[in-house]
């Protein structure tokens, strides 16, 4: 594994290549296909692995007991079993990929299997994962209770890392951090945030204050399992100033390890969907500045395909080669 790990891209985006339709707007989003078309889920993972991803995330962002109960009419046990089988689909894709590398005598670094743990707001299907509005109406205990069964299912099924992602508010991040330290002390994880601008989380707290305080708490606990803090599902232009607010004034040896997997440069509105594809700045353009600021994991989120990951991986490798010269 290199100093910077290339992540995969937008799962629903690449999945659409295999299912031939837009997935946006479905209350279960891509998680419906875990039940209806697991082969397409398998092929999507394989696409990212073949593009060079060194970590793939399970298709569980929108998977929850409540969501599967309401929209697939599954009971709690069946919902949790579907989440576990979704992890196994990712495991099978990784196994297939590694087997193909053996047959061609290519290097065999085992990619990380990361459980996608989306925010509490995702299952509400009201856009609140992009506002964090529930931070003042839901208790940390309720947040933990909601997340626990899905985390248990993913850990039991066998993942390497928990990717706690698109978190819009400090309260949810702190609740999950505490739960990971106390209940899953040997499980590695990251926390990445949803941000509304180049300084603030979606709910309005300062990104720099939130990240610095969580990292300080991890150090105080002598925690070694928090791998990184950062952002995902944001416009790529805001990632650099957000990262500067955390690490620019720190000496390189004490910089916080960061993670970034933004959307493409396109802009989304409910009325018009994704717009501006022809004006996009490719994500690999940003990679050098993110690495310079301490990024250790880089990939893509919405509207990023396997081909985008291939270019990100090439940018990461170019930086690594230059550093060794």
Please report the pLDDT score of residue 1 as a whole number.
Answer: 40
Please report the pLDDT score of residue 273 as a whole number.
Answer: 62
Binding site as annotated, residues for Zn(2+): 233, 301-302
Please report the pLDDT score of residue 276 as a whole number.
Answer: 59
225: Cβ–Cβ under 8 A, 6 or more apart, which residues? 180, 181, 184, 185, 186, 187, 188, 189
Q: How far is CA 211 from CA 25, 125, 192, 215, in A?
A: 31, 27, 10, 6
The CATH code belonging to domain 5-323 is 3.20.20.330
Please report the pLDDT score of residue 28 as a whole number.
Answer: 79
Extents of the domains making up the chain: 5-323
Please report the pLDDT score of residue 269 as a whole number.
Answer: 59
Listed as ranges, residues in the chain with pLDDT below 50 are 1
Binding site as annotated, residues: 233, 301-302
Q: What is the pTM of this model?
A: 0.93
Please report the pLDDT score of residue 280 as a whole number.
Answer: 74
Task: Report the mean per-residue pLDDT for the chain.
Answer: 92
């Amino acid at each position: 594994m290199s100093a910077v790990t290339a992540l995969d891209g937008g799962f629903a985006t690449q999945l659409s290549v295999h299912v031939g339709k837009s997935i946006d707007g479905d209350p279960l989003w891509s998680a419906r296909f875990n039940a209806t078309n697991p082969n397409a889920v398998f092929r999507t993972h394989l696409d990212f692995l073949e593009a060079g991803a060194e970590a793939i995330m399970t298709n569980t962002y929108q998977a929850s007991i409540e969501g599967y109960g309401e929209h697939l009419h599954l009971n709690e046990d069946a919902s949790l079993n579907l989440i576990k089988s979704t992890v196994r689909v990712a495991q099978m894709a990784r196994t297939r990929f590694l087997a193909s590398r053996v047959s061609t005598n290519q290097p065999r670094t085992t990619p990380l299997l990361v459980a996608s743990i989306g925010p509490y707001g995702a299952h509400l299907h009201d856009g609140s994962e992009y506002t964090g509005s529930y931070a003042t109406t839901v208790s940390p205990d309720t947040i933990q209770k909601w997340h626990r069964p899905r985390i248990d299912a993913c850990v039991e099924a066998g993942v390497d890392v928990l990717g706690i992602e698109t978190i819009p508010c400090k309260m949810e991040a702190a609740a999950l951090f505490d739960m990971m330290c106390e209940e899953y002390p040997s499980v590695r994880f990251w926390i990445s945030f949803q941000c509304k601008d180049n300084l603030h989380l979606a709910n309005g707290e300062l990104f720099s204050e939130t990240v610095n305080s969580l990292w300080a708490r991890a150090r105080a606990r002598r925690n070694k399992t928090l791998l990184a803090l950062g952002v995902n599902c944001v416009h790529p232009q805001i990632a650099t100033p957000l990262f500067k607010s955390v690490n620019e004034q720190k000496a390189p040896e004490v910089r916080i390890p960061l993670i970034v997997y933004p959307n493409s440069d396109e802009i989304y509105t409910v009325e018009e969907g994704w717009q501006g594809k022809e004006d996009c700045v490719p994500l690999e353009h940003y990679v050098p500045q993110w690495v310079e600021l301490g990024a250790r994991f880089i990939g893509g989120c919405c509207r990023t395909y396997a081909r985008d990951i291939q270019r990100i991986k090439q940018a990461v490798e170019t930086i690594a080669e230059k550093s060794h010269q």
